[in-house]
Amino acid sequence: MKAGELRHRVTFEKKVVTNDPVSNEELVSWVEFATVWAAVKDLSVREFISAQSTQSEVTCRIVVRYREGFDATMRARHDGRIYNLHGILRDPVSGKEYLTFPASEGTNDG
């Protein structure tokens, strides 16, 4: 992956669930994990059609340099949009150069 392709600032957030002490309801909030340079790429038409045929919601992929701590329960924010992550794919050579997150556009609720 060339550094010039990582031209988007993407913030990854972790989900935090707490209980309201008064109502005992679950409260969901999102806490920033990391803001990194990334490549946000829409799926090609062929990839999009293939994803739809398998009932997948994936509409784009987010690629970042390898870093410990990422997991598929996180979400990403970029350019005013929220993306739900659908897994983590390591690079095929060493597994420690970059990570690819298949993603779909999400909403701001928990």
The per-residue pLDDT string of the chain (110 residues; one tens digit each, 9 = 90 and over) reads 666 789 999 999 999 999 888 888 899 999 999 999 999 998 765 555 555 555 557 888 999 999 999 998 999 999 999 999 999 999 988 888 999 999 998 877 65
CA distance 4 to 18: 40
Segments forming the whole domain that contains residue 91:
3-105
CATH number for position 27: 2.40.10.270
**Is 38 among the domain residues?**
yes
**Domain assignment of residue 97, yes or no:** yes
Q: Give the total number of structural domains in the chain.
A: 1
**Measured distance CA(28)–CA(48) in Å, rounded:** 31
In a domain, 81, yes or no: yes
DSSP character string of 15-32 = EEEEE-TTT--EEEEEEE
C-alpha span between 78 and 67 (Å, rounded): 18
Residue at 27 is within a domain? yes
In a domain, 31, yes or no: yes
On whether residue 51 sits in a domain, the answer given is yes
User: What per-residue confidence (pLDDT) applies to 52?
Assistant: 53
Query: 110 lies in a domain?
Result: no
Asked whether residue 92 is assigned to any structural domain, the reply reads: yes
